[in-house]
Amino acid sequence: MRTMKTSLLRAAGASWLLTLCGAALGAGSTIADLAPKDSAFVFGVDNFAAAKASFDKTGFRKIWDDPKVKAFIEKHAKKEMEDLAKSFEDAGVKMDEIEAPTGPAGAATWMIWNATDKRVDARSMAFGDWGEKADATAKQVQDAIDRGEEKKTLTVKEDEYNGTKIWVIDSVKQPDAAKPKGAEDGAGEPEMEDAADGMGFEGEEGHDPFEMKSLVYARSGNHLILASDIQTMESTLDRLAGKGGDSVGDSAEFSGVMAQLEKPQGYAVFLTGPLFTLLNTLTEQAKAGTEGVDMMLADEPAVSTAMTAFGVAGVKAAGTGIKFDTESAMGEQTFAVLCPEKKGIMTLFAGADQKFTAPSFVNADSGAVTLLQFKFSDLLSTITESARGLPPEVGDSLVQNVQQAQVMAGPILNNLGPQVWSSNSYSKPLSATSSQPLFAIACKDPAQFNQALQNLGGMLPIQSRDFQGNQLWSLSGGLPVPGAADYAMGVGFGHVFIGSTATVENAMRQAGAPDAAGLSKEARFNNAVRTIGGSGLAFGYTDVRQALEYAKWTMDNPEKVVEAQMSSMFGNDPDAEAYKKEMIEEAKKNQPEWMKEIPLDVAARELGDTVFEFHIVPEGFKGRSLWLRPTK
């Protein structure tokens, strides 16, 4: 694992990044103005004062302030908190003296092809406006720099750009702490590679584009700025002075996503264009035999060709935003996928608007229900059409494989969807088998679907029986899948039901009695879905209290969960008894103490139910998820 860079990078950098989480958008430049147009990842928080005030009104803040939560964190994260405090103290900074920005703040990351060194380099910048607190915060940073130099944990070079002082900070490699001979990290396990390694663009001598060897810092007015390199710092200062090049705010894709996120207080945006451009460059370099570039990128079809053929390249950007204490909920998260031209697999996520209500087969006690839509009937034809956009030597083979699959899978897929329902119930008293998930996929022609399954009878160990005039399919044995014999698939009432045998039978009974009690008649469900649109592509509802209650039970009873899993796998096989007991004891021993002490009851008290909705819009896809206020 890489060592921490320096006391400055731990303290000045860490404190800056910590406060960035609470950064605010005020008058002046925002991340949209300062990040370059080729940014791939952009993060920002708007109007900290308002956002914090909104957050403080919600159950999230009540959870954070609850004595049980504070005691839990103090007990189980004590060492981590002490280490963090020490890293600040090493740089002469006290954690309780750290101030949040009072104006705009944000961060951005992008990647470039370094033509000189023939490698990929990552670039990043971050900034915040501290307003009246800028002097005090800048002094903290300067003190940390001076302390690092005194302790010889970093070296600093001072520079100047258009009247602004710049510090270029490099870490001094510290000797590793002595380890006992033969000792390895990870309790005897070999040290793991960094996540970036092996990605195909390490460059010469294992260059890692994500490793920051230097940190560039500057103050301009009330703005404190961090950058990965001098060039990035200078271009940021130019934009801050209003004379730089195009910024990410000039990007139609960034603006398009932000418009769909509907003025969030905080946001994160991913832009695909810069990464596709880099991918094309890497492909060219791979074909040219450039050392350090993954040669697999030179293979046909090119990754970009495949992404275009299958429609993935149509996704121009994606983002998410967050707002607190809105009219509808205490927390609202928005989602946006910018894909104005839907082709290939992107056309499969579609369907007519569906009313946001629960079908009759979802029982009144259910703790969750979700509707998604997917065009199963178009899956094989879409793959075929996409394959024709690939080079013939690859595309033709894929088309042939799809045509072969069509013989068996076609009659099944053609009868499914697009509506896909899922629900979950928790039987009482709680036990390892209380959670009862159910899936129900719309079925156009049950007779044809049953016939297609019957035709597979010679290849799969399945059998059917009549259940109240409909078909119930189950495994007849011979399939080496633990617990598979407990599951069934029912065909009837316009759906294919999948779940445990008892759950499927209950769902089919309820489907045959639409006037019986169900979730759609429950006030808790109707009050929740009333906060979102009346219809759309997809929606979901979760009874958070039920979910947390069962999560707590499973954390308190790990041995019972494992025992149920063992019984599902081995049944009453006497030869497996010793192994089952061993696994149960292992589960007890490995259960972290914090899992039994986590105060989920506080969350259950302060959090309401959750709902989400998703829609197809001309710009792509758009949705939002709401954390509702708890009911009185």
Please state, as a whole number, how many other Cβ atoms lie within 10 Å of the Cβ of residue 594: 13
The H-or-E segment that residue 632 falls in is none
How remote is the C-alpha of 258 from its chain's centroid? 19
Q: What confidence score (pLDDT) does residue 239 get?
A: 94
pLDDT in tens, 332-350: 999 999 999 999 999 999 9
CA atoms of 7 and 19, how far apart (whole Å) = 17
Closest by Cα among 215, 103, 204 to 148: 215
Looking at the predicted structure, is the pLDDT value of residue 1 above 70? no
CA distances from 18 to 10, 49, 95, 98, 138 (A): 11, 16, 10, 9, 15
Q: What confidence score (pLDDT) does residue 606 get?
A: 97
Q: How confident is the model at residue 17 (pLDDT cuts 50, 70, 90)?
A: very low
Looking at the predicted structure, is the pLDDT value of residue 368 above 70? yes
pLDDT in tens, 494-528: 999 999 999 999 999 999 998 889 999 999 999 99
Q: What confidence score (pLDDT) does residue 184 get?
A: 47
Percent above pLDDT 70 for the chain: 87
How remote is the C-alpha of 190 from its chain's centroid? 28
Q: Residues with Cβ < 8 Å from 524, sequence gap 6 or more?
A: 543, 609, 631
How remote is the C-alpha of 447 from its chain's centroid? 40
Phi and psi at 458, nearest 5°, equal: -75, -15
- The residue with tokens 């969750």 is 368
| Better-predicted residue by pLDDT, 598 or 13 | 598
Q: Which two tokens stand for residue 72?
A: 């839990």
Beta-sheet pairing, 119-129 with 462-467? unpaired
Phi and psi at 631, nearest 5°, equal: -75, 150
Q: What confidence score (pLDDT) does residue 14 get?
A: 39
pLDDT in tens, 439-466: 999 999 999 999 999 888 667 778 899 9
Find the mean pLDDT for residues 353-372.
97
pLDDT in tens, 588-597: 778 788 888 9
pTM of this prediction? 0.86
Q: What confidence score (pLDDT) does residue 324 get?
A: 96
Beta-sheet pairing, 538-542 with 470-475? unpaired
CA atoms of 409 and 372, how far apart (whole Å) = 21
* Sign of the torsion formed by the C-alpha atoms of 17, 18, 19 and 20: positive
At 505, the amino acid letter reads E
Q: How confident is the model at residue 18 (pLDDT cuts 50, 70, 90)?
A: very low
Q: Length of the chain, please?
A: 632
pLDDT in tens, 105-120: 899 999 999 888 888 9
At 502, the amino acid letter reads A
- The residue with tokens 């597979």 is 456
Q: How confident is the model at residue 23 (pLDDT cuts 50, 70, 90)?
A: very low
Closest by Cα among 398, 372, 374 to 384: 398
Q: What confidence score (pLDDT) does residue 203 get?
A: 47
Q: How confident is the model at residue 490 (pLDDT cuts 50, 70, 90)?
A: very high
pLDDT in tens, 195-246: 444 344 444 455 676 676 789 999 999 999 999 999 999 999 999 998 878 9
Q: What confidence score (pLDDT) does residue 177 get?
A: 54
Q: Which two tokens stand for residue 293?
A: 């570039």
At 76, the amino acid letter reads H
Looking at the predicted structure, is the pLDDT value of residue 13 above 50? no
pLDDT in tens, 415-435: 999 999 999 999 999 999 999
Per-residue HEC secondary structure of 117-153 comes to CCEEEEEEEEEEECHHHHHHHHHHHHHHHHHHHHCCC
Q: What is the C-alpha R_g of the chain?
A: 29
Find the mean pLDDT for residues 567-581.
77
Q: How confident is the model at residue 559 (pLDDT cuts 50, 70, 90)?
A: confident
Q: What confidence score (pLDDT) does residue 205 get?
A: 52
Q: What confidence score (pLDDT) does residue 580 get?
A: 78
Looking at the predicted structure, is the pLDDT value of residue 376 above 90? yes
95 three-class SS? helix
Q: What confidence score (pLDDT) does residue 574 get?
A: 80
Mean pLDDT (the chain) is 86
Looking at the predicted structure, is the pLDDT value of residue 483 above 60? no
Q: What confidence score (pLDDT) does residue 352 get?
A: 93
511 three-class SS? helix
pLDDT in tens, 68-96: 999 999 999 888 888 877 777 776 667 77
